Structure 1
């Protein structure tokens, strides 16, 4: 896919006593990165500089972490089974092991061999039970050994940081925006949202049964991340059955829970990213359980019957009459 870049910077033509109110300078830019569209929008004196620095951060991280770049740190680790990692990748791998424990194994960066086996992007057949069983020993955070600044993979394991990378980078972008003291910002990394500013904003949640841009409700808040996961956009069909891109590390198959859409809300987009995937694997009941057991995150879960479940004190409103509150 060709890289698309849309850039505009606006300086409002408000001049009073010879001074331009530069705090109102706005900048919004969209690029295709991380196998998705990334849109960064900021308002403030250093808006353009902040947006540019964020994209540089994303590009540098992608070069180090992508499994689609042959000489990335992660690709070399997967190829050789052991590699020295940069501090940020080492920290992300360490955090991922923690998320695996916190989600009862439903989020696991060692799921890559299963993702390769299913190959949802170019799906032609369902793997046999024997193929899945042969692959399962490669899956599990116990196959990751961390020693000082290096990582070793056991039992033929391979990792893919894609399940937490966008969240991690949304956090980094938020930090960069704050460093440049922008008045407000929206960091949208393929649906991983981080909203910054002094005022509450409404973040719409995609209707899993509707066209892109149709929402079934919205979350209202400020200085928060909202990460949504579901199988409604990336999936394959064969013989009338849908197979979504989210693979369960628990049974080696495409997730088939009752969750249509899982949105996790919190200050750490990285953690929200991991838990959004896990909830889709575990289902509504267990998903609510693991979210409620964690400090700093809340959730909005829509099941396949249009029932919506929330945890804690989420400021969420349903706007689509086809959805109702669950018990």
Structure 2
């Protein structure tokens, strides 16, 4: 179920796509037809990119390996971006981890159990982004190893958010918030008519993992366009307790954390952020990572990447990228930031 602060000055639409709650709020150009089209686009991308939907592009790739499959331009572009981040991270981000993610069953009811170590080791031997072949000329994608499986869930929602923003801008919308299960993408800034607050709650997901619940509220400035304030959920607090607040316009704010999807077995917590080389959850002293960037697809990939790399290597990577900032939440509750992270307070 979705929850959102109601305000007569905003046109808000919520829905359930990608196995999570989404919310889109328009603060100008309040045309219901625009929101109708956004929901139709979400349904289109779910049918295209979900590994669980039979005959989606991703499903066809996984069930046709090692044969190449003709795919849509969107799937081709997304797979190309996933490969870019796999190479950039030297495999810390790897879109061929699908079978391992399925084995852990984090979205089951109940989730788990802990996989057999031998089975996990066997599946990990088939993970490797070099097995993903994207042929732009032929518009095809192939997995050269039939025991590997493509999973674009770590990057798809960011891609979709960016596509929705492009559409909104084309419709003349200059002030809006796109929230796909906690992936927050700001369109412009707050207008003088923007609501005092707007929230969207994320729900547990599978094909496209939900992000931590994010709260978005208007900034205090009285200028025509001022900053939105985005609250980053405290992984150790109750819902609505923020570890930090980001004030920004026209930015993407995406978080990854151990508190998103997990289960406990014999008193030990197992979370969904997996090391592609071992198949096991990463244990490196981090509980969460938040990326602020221009594009949501970049924030989606980098939040996972930086968590898996850890603070030192993750920060080194972020410092090489323009207009990209990171915040790390440590298991002891402390926070650390890149130099220009746009925090309001914590």
Is residue 2–residue 22 contact of structure 2 (8 Å, CA) maintained in 1? no
Q: 2:238 is matched with which residue? A: 211
Q: Could you tell me how far apart the structure 2 residues matched to 1:208 and 1:187 are?
A: 22
Question: Separation in 2 of the partners of 1:138 and 1:92?
Answer: 21
Q: Contact 1:53–1:176 (CA<8 Å) still a contact in 2?
A: no
Q: Superposed, which structure 2 residues align to 1:94-105 within 5 Å?
A: 94-105=80-91
Residue matched to 1:20? none
Q: Deviations over 1:67-101 (max 9, x none)?
A: 12112111111011131110010010011000011
| Partner SS, residue 120 of structure 1 | coil
The aligned counterpart of 1:322 is none
Q: Which residue of 1 aligns with 2:32?
A: 48
More helix by share: 1
- Report what 2:143 is aligned to: 153
- Mapped pair 1:32 → 2:16: yes
CA contact (8 A) 1:40 1:185 kept: yes
| Deviations 1:229-251 (CA, angstroms, capped at 9, x unpaired) | 10113100000000001222132
Per the alignment, residue 181 of structure 1 pairs with: 172
Alpha-carbon distance in 2 for matches of 1:312, 1:195 = 22
CA contact (8 A) 1:5 1:31 kept: no
Q: Unaligned stretches of 5+ in structure 2?
A: 190-224
In the superposition, relative to structure 1, how do residues 310 and 7 fare at CA in structure 2: closer, same or farther (>3 Å)? closer
- CA distance in 1 between counterparts of 2:148 and 2:62 reads 8
1:266 corresponds to 2:293: yes
TM-score where L is the length of structure 2: 0.83
Residues matched between the structures, number: 303
**Contact 1:113 / 1:138 at 8 angstroms: preserved in 2?**
no
1:29/1:103 Cα in 2 relative to 1: closer, same or farther (>3 Å)? same
Which structure ranks higher in relative contact order (CA pairs < 8 Å, sequence separation ≥ 6)? 2
Structure 1 124/218 Cα, relative in aligned 2: closer, same or farther at 3 Å?
closer
Please report the RMSD computed on the Cα atoms of aligned residues, expressed in angstroms: 1.9
2:83 paired with 1:93? no
- Gaps of at least 5 residues in structure 1 are 13-25, 320-327
If the length of structure 1 is used for normalisation, what is the TM-score? 0.87
Which of the residues 119, 128, 136 maps onto 1:140?
128
Secondary structure of the equivalent of 1:256? coil
Is residue 178–residue 185 contact of structure 2 (8 Å, CA) maintained in 1? yes
Larger radius of gyration between Structure 1 and Structure 2: 1
Q: Is the 8 A contact 1:9 1:48 kept in 2?
A: no
- Match for 1:168 among 116, 140, 159? 159
Partners of 2:286 and 2:112 in 1: how far apart? 25
CA offset digits 1:163-187 (Å, max 9, x no partner) = 1111001111111221122241010
1:70-85 aligned within 5 A: 70-81=54-65, 82-85=68-71
Could you tell which deviates more after superposition, 269-278 or 133-142? 133-142
